[in-house]
């Protein structure tokens, strides 16, 4: 797998913005100026991948939401990038009637049905605009790529496929079907964009199995229809004849409930836990507005600042998976290096006459041009470095404030010990009763991890004591009600997850997966659950090539039906139905580093932090 998912999705978007033709290599040519119209789904897919500057370089002068008030721009082509929903189709028909643009290129994020296409056709006929609807495309891009090796299905309307939606007690079969269809539609788009037909593995008897069955059926149907198959043809030529295919491992959130509640210690996961971090953008309130406003005046609004943490940010790429203390040191080091260069910046600014008419600007005339050339080339680089250092200083400081005020380090260490069954240095009740340690939510998270990881559930009298302490600390007990039901259910269904002793990072996902002898020896890796899951699954993929029978508790699907002839190529995609988090993503990245030559991509139906997960648990517990 040469190109990453992020690259493939970016290429597909750039192609779409170039009227579905490959972008020209000759950059000297002036791009065709055009307007981009998207809905919220389209916006979420584009924003982590393309910056406004990149859009402008591709000729996008204006990008607007479909359902905003838009003025007619009669002599400009418009590229639409939207979901094929009823209201979106109605709005397109309205645009055609109002003759807003010169020509219309309609790109649907996910496949449009025949009946909706007919609606657009009849509206175009009525508006006498048939010739202006130039192209209609199904783009199959209905997923969001956040990293080279991480994707999530949706951000808008994610409550429709959330953990809460799947695990509601009163869910009807029809609702469940609809949720599974939504998830499968996005996964299908993911594999079309990847250009590969996966070998699918999943555990039996849960939502992951339902997704696997439906996805297998959808891929089979598409492959069977040779004329319209999305996995053949020119653009898929590389994928079509490849005997190496990705292994797609589905897992269910219910197998591991502790990791999403865990207080983490790595940079990216901490930002997601304590700050407002969505689609690679972190939003923070600035310290402004602390000074009192004059009597009678409205209180000053706090400024909300947003920072993009992108692939181009070298510091972020290097340190997003590092433990926080290391990040703080690195920010300080970067700052010191920059300060040493700051005098250089001042000197360069003065040479370029950017600081008033001082001697530097005047002497520059007689000075040689080499100085000027070096100044012009190195100043933007230094200023960009300064911007990134300021960004990470602000973000890291905000994270540190949370760590200090909520004693998150104490929680992190204590939860580690709970999950790895180590000896505890102080009692759980002490932490819950300590008014200075964390928010009520932190305490609830800690107690739930204790409850989930405990081999023996606490006795009724102990539980009452804990409940009283939690209530005194201001906790809402409804998440506990749900976790009690969940634990009782999983006890009937299976043995609990084994949270191995991690040393640094606990990984709880999917321990009880398969009991087949693993052919991979985990060199230098402790018995960590998610890693264990992946390595065992890969070993089963190895056995599959020897045509050994399916393991009892794991199912095997191959939509190409060429059993035994396909080789798994060391590229695995792990997908969690019911939501995932950055802790698991980081654990998988670390796992892939240890296993040289293995590439692992992490995906989840939605990305939540502990606060959002607790909220879903409490909604489930209130019923």
Greater pLDDT, 509 or 620: 620
Lowest mean pLDDT among 42-51, 336-345, 460-469: 336-345
CB contact set of 322 (below 8 Å; sequence gap of 6+): 266, 267, 330
- The pLDDT of residue 21 is above 70: yes
135 or 24, greater pLDDT: 135
Mean pLDDT throughout 6-25?
A: 89
42-61 pLDDT, tens digit per residue, is 999 999 999 999 999 999 99
On the question of pLDDT at 523 being above 50, the answer is: no
Instruction: Give me the residue label for tokens 């590389």.
Output: 238
Does residue 344 sit in helix, strand or coil? helix
Of 198, 202, 276, 206, the residue nearest 244 (C-alpha):
198
Residue among 155, 163, 403 nearest 274 (CA): 403
**Order of strands across the sheet with 34-38?**
60-65, 34-38, 73-82, 101-108, 133-138
Angle between helices 369-406 and 408-419 (to 10 degrees): 70
d(CA 268, CA 327): 10
So what's the pLDDT on residue 589?
Answer: 87
Lowest-confidence pick of 122-131, 147-156, 424-433, 592-601: 592-601
Question: What's the pLDDT tens digit per position in 557-588?
Answer: 888 765 544 556 668 899 999 999 999 899 88
Residue 368: C-alpha distances to residues 323, 371, 378, 610 (Å)? 48, 6, 17, 59
**For residue 167, what pLDDT is reported?**
93
Residue 592, helix vs strand vs coil = helix
Residues 484-498: tens digit of each pLDDT = 999 888 766 554 455
Residue 421: how many CB atoms within 10 A of its CB? Answer: 14
Instruction: Report helix, strand and coil shares of the chain as percent, to nearest 5.
Output: 50, 15, 35
Instruction: Give the pLDDT band (50/70/90) at residue 417.
Output: confident
Enter the DSSP assignment of 307: E
Angle, alpha carbons 553-557-558 (nearest 5°)? 150
Mean pLDDT of all residues in 399-415: 91
**Is-contact 20 105, C-beta < 8 A?**
yes
Pick from 508, 591, 622: nearest CA to 253: 508
Mean pLDDT, rounded, of the chain: 81
pLDDT at 4: 87
Q: Give the model's pLDDT for residue 372.
A: 60
Taking the C-alpha atoms of residue 59 and residue 31, their distance in angstroms, rounded to an integer, is: 5
How far apart CA 154 and CA 44 sit, in angstroms, is: 8
Predicted local confidence at residue 420, as pLDDT? 80
Task: Region of 50 please: left (phi>0), alpha (psi -120 to 50) or beta.
Answer: beta
Which range (171-175, 256-260, 298-302, 306-310) has the least confidence?
Answer: 298-302
Whether 540 has a pLDDT exceeding 90, the answer reads no
Q: Which of 144-148, 209-213, 372-376 has the lowest mean pLDDT?
A: 372-376
What is the Rg, in whole angstroms, of the alpha carbon atoms belonging to the chain?
27
Q: Which of 363, 272, 269, 373 is nearest to 323 (CA)?
A: 269
Task: Flag whether pLDDT at 352 surpasses 70.
Answer: no
Distance CA 230, CA 238 (A): 13
Report the C-alpha gap between 109 and 81 in whole angstroms: 6
pLDDT over 70 percentage in the chain: 77
> Which is higher by pLDDT, 435 or 240?
435
Model pLDDT, residue 55: 94
The pLDDT value given to residue 418: 87
From 248-262, 416-430, 456-470, the region with the lowest mean pLDDT: 416-430
Sequence-distant contacts of 239-243: CB under 8 A, at least 24 apart: 239/194, 239/195, 239/196, 239/197, 242/196, 243/565, 243/566, 243/567
Could you tell me the CA-to-CA distances from 176 to 217, 268, 549 in Å, in that order? 17, 33, 31
Mean pLDDT of 141-167: 93
Cα–Cα nearest to 437, from 428, 425, 448? 428
pLDDT band at 502 (very low <50, low <70, confident <90, very high): very low
pLDDT digits (tens, 9 = 90+) for 178-216: 999 999 999 999 999 998 888 898 888 889 999 999 999
For residues 480 and 447, give the distance between their C-alpha atoms in angstroms, rounded to a whole number: 9
- Return the pLDDT at 231: 76
Place of tokens 């502790």: 258
H/E segment holding residue 109:
none
pLDDT at 355: 59
Instruction: Judge whether 139 and 84 are in contact, CB under 8 Å.
Output: no
Residue 248's nearest CA partner among 547, 558, 595 is: 558
Q: Say what the pLDDT of residue 16 is.
A: 95
For residue 122, is pLDDT > 80? yes
Q: What is the mean pLDDT of residues 152-178?
A: 92
């Amino acid at each position: 797998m040469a190109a990453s998912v992020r690259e493939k999705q970016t290429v597909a978007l750039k192609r779409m913005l170039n009227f579905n033709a490959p972008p020209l290599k000759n950059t000297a040519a002036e791009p065709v100026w055009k307007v981009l119209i998207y809905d919220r789904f389209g916006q979420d897919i584009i924003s982590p991948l393309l910056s406004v500057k990149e859009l402008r370089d591709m000729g996008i002068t204006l990008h607007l939401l479909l359902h905003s008030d838009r003025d007619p721009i009669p002599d400009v082509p418009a590229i639409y990038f939207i979901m094929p929903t009823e209201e979106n189709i109605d709005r397109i028909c309205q645009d055609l009637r109002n003759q807003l643009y010169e020509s219309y290129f309609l790109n649907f994020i996910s496949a449009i049905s025949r009946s909706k296409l007919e609606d657009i056709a009849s509206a175009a006929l009525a508006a006498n605009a048939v010739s202006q609807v130039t192209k209609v495309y199904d783009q199959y891009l209905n997923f969001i790529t956040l990293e080279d090796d991480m994707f999530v299905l949706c951000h808008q309307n994610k409550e429709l496929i959330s953990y809460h939606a799947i695990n509601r007690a009163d869910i009807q079969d029809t609702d469940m079907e609809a949720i599974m269809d939504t998830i499968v539609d996005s996964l299908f788009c993911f594999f079309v964009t990847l250009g590969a037909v996966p070998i699918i593995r999943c555990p039996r008897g849960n939502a992951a199995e339902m997704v696997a069955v439906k996805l297998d059926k959808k891929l089979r149907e598409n492959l069977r229809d040779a004329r319209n198959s999305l996995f053949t043809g020119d653009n898929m030529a590389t994928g079509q004849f490849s005997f190496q295919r990705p292994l797609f491992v589905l897992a269910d959130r219910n197998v591991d409930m502790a990791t999403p509640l865990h207080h983490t210690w790595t940079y990216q996961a901490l930002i997601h836990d304590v700050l407002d971090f969505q689609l690679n953008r972190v939003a923070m309130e600035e310290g402004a507005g602390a000074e009192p406003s004059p009597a009678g005046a409205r209180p000053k609004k706090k400024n909300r600042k947003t920072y993009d943490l992108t692939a181009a940010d070298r510091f972020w790429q290097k340190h997003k998976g590092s433990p926080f203390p290391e990040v703080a040191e690195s920010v300080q080091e970067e700052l010191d290096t920059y300060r040493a260069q700051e005098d250089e910046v001042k000197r360069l600014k003065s040479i370029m006459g950017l600081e008033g008419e001082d001697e530097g600007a005047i002497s520059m005339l007689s000075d040689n041009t080499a100085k000027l050339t070096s100044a012009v080339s190195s100043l933007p680089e230094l200023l960009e470095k300064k911007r990134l250092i300021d960004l990470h200083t602000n973000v890291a400081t905000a994270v540190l404030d949370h760590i200090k005020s909520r004693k998150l380090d104490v929680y992190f260490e204590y939860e580690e010990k709970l999950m790895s069954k180590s000896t505890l240095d102080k009692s759980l009740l002490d932490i819950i009763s300590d008014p200075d340690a964390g928010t009520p939510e932190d305490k609830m998270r800690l107690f739930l991890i204790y409850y989930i990881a405990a081999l023996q559930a606490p006795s009724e009298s102990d539980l009452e004591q804990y409940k009283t302490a939690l209530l005194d600390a201001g906790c809402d007990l409804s998440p506990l009600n749900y976790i009690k039901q969940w634990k009782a259910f999983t006890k009937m269904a299976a043995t609990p997850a084994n949270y191995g002793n991690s040393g640094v990072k606990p990984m709880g996902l999917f321990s009880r997966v398969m009991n087949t002898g693993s052919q991979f020896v985990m060199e230098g890796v402790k018995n960590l659950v998610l890693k264990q899951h992946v390595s065992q699954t890969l070993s089963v993929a190895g056995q599959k090539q020897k045509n050994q029978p399916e393991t009892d508790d794991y199912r095997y699907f191959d939509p190409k039906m060429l059993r035994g002839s396909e080789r798994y190529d060391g590229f695995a995609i792990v997908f969690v139905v019911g939501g995932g988090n950055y802790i698991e993503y980081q654990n998988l990245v670390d796992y892939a580093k240890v296993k040289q030559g293995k590439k692992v991509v992490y995906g989840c139906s939605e990305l939540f932090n502990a606060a959002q997960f607790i909220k879903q648990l409490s909604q489930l517990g209130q019923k």
